[in-house]
Amino acid sequence: MTVLLDLPSIGSQVLRKAPASYTKIVVKGMTRAEMILKVVMAPHEPPVVFVDNYIKLLADGNPETFQKILELKGLKRSEQSSMLELFRQRLPTPPSGADGGPSLSFSTPTPEQESSRIRKLEKLIKKRL
């Protein structure tokens, strides 16, 4: 993520900090990407726990988004349909106009797993630049 935060000043003679709005957008986007990775890497058994973790981490009630996550996990269509049904059943009814952010109450990985995941993500980003 540090590479992305330094992006506005790469090649500049003057070393300056990225604008706060840029930093906020990068942090928000990377946090969402990290939550998606956590959901995709989490085991899908038992299904109830998987669905609950998805809802907690991504706070996204859109069935299409949930189905895309299931496709990323490589689940078969038959597994996807049962998971989608469970997802629809477990969706909380949001208060009107509520836009909740992601909750970080996921079964916490060890610090070694977390730093390994972050390093992999940073390597992937560096390869794309």
Q: HSE on the CB side for 62, CA within 13 Å? A: 7
Largest CA distance in the chain: 56
Q: What is the pLDDT of residues 15-52, one digit of tens each?
A: 778 788 888 898 899 999 999 999 999 999 999 999 99
Q: Where is pLDDT greater, at 129 or 116?
A: 116
pTM score of the predicted model: 0.59
Confidence (pLDDT) at 120: 75
pLDDT band, very low/low/confident/very high, at 123 (cuts 50, 70, 90): confident
Confidence (pLDDT) at 93: 65
Q: Is the peptide bond before 92 cis (omega within 30 degrees of 0)?
A: no
